[in-house]
Amino acid sequence: MATPAAQTHLTPEEYIALERKALPDSEIIRHEYLNGELIAMSGASRAHNLITGNISGELRTLLRGSGCETYANDMRVSTPATASYFYPDVVIVCDEPRFEDDVFDTLLNPIILVEVLSPTTEAYDRGEKFAHYRQLTSLQEYVLVSQDQIRVEHYRRQERQWIFTDFQKREEILPLISIQCELPIQEIYELVTFPD
């Protein structure tokens, strides 16, 4: 979840230094960085955590031995073209991971990004954040997952276009073409309950 922080303009270098200083301190809130402004990342709900864990765990199992790496929650992704930084819920990288520097905490070449939607971030994840993510030439697929209902939105790059597919049934299968995997929707929502 992201909420605007107090208005403070920082350079990308100041932002990275601040985030790295805060890293060992578990009481410090992570921030995304957008156009020189900090966006505080608040805690996530039970459903959000279950969904993120389910996706990350299932993909790690499916990708075992493939050379791909799966990260959940804390791998920062940079969009150099827009000088912005984000913390996607799940990140997949399959080529040799490229990092911003030798600290290896800011990834430059994800192939798949997953965001679990919350009421406060849904519009941001679909709009402005996705616009930044689309600047990553490595990115092939973007997945948005609702935590309030069964709904998975899949965007797949096809040359200069993004092809959209919507999944709303537990028995459906999400094809992740770029990593040659299929992710059952029922696995994404394992143990997640919805209000009546």
Counting the structural domains of the chain, the total is: 1
Q: Are strands 84-86 and 152-158 parallel, antiparallel or unpaired?
A: unpaired
**pLDDT of 192 higher than 80:** yes
CB of 148 closer than 8 Å to CB of 128: no
Say if 79 falls within a structural domain.
Answer: yes
Say if 117 falls within a structural domain.
Answer: yes
Confidence tier at 26 by pLDDT (50, 70, 90): very low
pLDDT of residue 140: 98
Confidence tier at 35 by pLDDT (50, 70, 90): confident
Amino acid at 27: E
d(CA 125, CA 155): 13
d(CA 180, CA 139): 15
Say if 10 falls within a structural domain.
Answer: no
d(CA 58, CA 73): 15
Residue 155: which of 146, 167, 144, 142 has the closest Cα?
142
Say if 16 falls within a structural domain.
Answer: no
3-state secondary structure of 70: strand
d(CA 140, CA 137): 8
Count Cβ atoms below 10 Å from residue 124 Cβ, excluding itself: 20
> Which residue reads 């689309």 in tokens?
134
**pLDDT of 120 higher than 90:** no
Domain of 88, CATH number, reads: 3.90.1570.10
Say if 72 falls within a structural domain.
Answer: yes
Say if 14 falls within a structural domain.
Answer: no
Tell me the pLDDT of the chain averaged across its residues.
91
Residue 150 belongs to domain spanning: 44-188
Say if 29 falls within a structural domain.
Answer: no
pLDDT of residue 23: 55
pLDDT of residue 42: 73
Say if 36 falls within a structural domain.
Answer: no
DSSP for residue 99? B
